[in-house]
Amino acid sequence: MKAIRQKEAADSISCAACSLVNLCLGKGLDQAELDKLDQIIDKKTQYDNEEYLFHSGETMTAVYAVRSGMVKTLITTEGGAEQITGFHLPGELVGLDGFGDDRHLCNAVALGTTTVCELKVESFDWVCEHIQGIRAQLMRMIGEELNHEQGMLLALGQMKADERLATLLLSLSERYKKRGFSALEFNLPMPRHDLANYLGLAPETLSRIFSKMHEEGILDVSGRDLRILDMPRMRKLAHCSQC
């Protein structure tokens, strides 16, 4: 059984006052619509590091908006091998895979202490009926996620190892920037073996690439803290001149 969730003071933060409102489902909604959303969403549920939000095969019960921390999604083969399929930052949705046949196809796991807002499935039809624009917002977020996943599939399927890492780091840089954080200095909440798994690399290969980028003055890494020193070269590596 999951531990009792900690809500405390964070529960008082309304959707309108949330710093992520323009990235999440509340974008473009007026005050009355945001008030309705507040009444439905179960806000600020907390998960501990490596705790599961849901498991593959479980019946879908909610859509989760990451409030703080990070959530990784992964699939597991019958033989027990794991493949990480994504890292989700604050303002992004998790659990959309359950809309296919009402069951999740992947696992969702908290990386570090993570809080989420939950929109229960039984409330979804009411929300779409009573809050004009929420369906369009959901479609926008799904479209953005698909675009991101297609870009990463291209990188993972066609690019060299260093190009894959550069593509992921540029993605994180841009996503952190949208959240009001530095695009050049940020923390990597995921352990190196998770990064390597996601990129389809051996951990030793990933370490060599980080060391090479450091030696070439492209970035500086201290533990999980990363600083991009040469953004033009990072973009060149990722074949992303317009990023």
CATH number of the domain within which 126 lies: 2.60.120.10
Q: Angle at CA 9, nearest 5°, toward 6 and 13? A: 110
- At which residue do the structure tokens 């507040």 appear? 38
| pLDDT tens string 65-113 | 999 999 999 999 888 899 999 999 999 999 999 988 899 999 999 999 9
State the pLDDT at residue 37: 87
Q: Would residue 242 count as lying in a domain?
A: no
Q: CA distances (Å), 137 to each of 16, 19, 185, in order?
A: 15, 17, 30
Cα separation, 62 vs 45, in Å, equals 12
Asked if pLDDT for residue 204 goes beyond 60, the answer is yes
Average pLDDT, the chain: 88
Backbone angles phi, psi at 202, to 5 degrees: -75, 145
Same structural domain, 21 and 120: yes
3-state secondary structure of 151: helix
Show Cβ contacts of residue 61 under 8 Å, excluding neighbours closer than 6 positions.
54, 120, 121
Same structural domain, 223 and 119: no
Q: Where a domain ends, among 98, 124, 151?
A: 151
State the pLDDT at residue 40: 85
pLDDT (mean) for 119-144: 84
pLDDT (mean) for 140-147: 84
Cα separation, 128 vs 161, in Å, equals 43
Show Cβ contacts of residue 237 under 8 Å, excluding neighbours closer than 6 positions.
162, 163, 166, 218
Q: Where a domain ends, among 118, 151, 184?
A: 151
Same structural domain, 176 and 79: no
State the pLDDT at residue 197: 96
| pLDDT tens string 32-57 | 888 888 888 887 689 999 999 999 99
**Could you list the residue range(s) of the whole structural domain that residue 191 is in?**
159-237
Both tokens of 96, joined, read: 């959309």
State the pLDDT at residue 243: 57
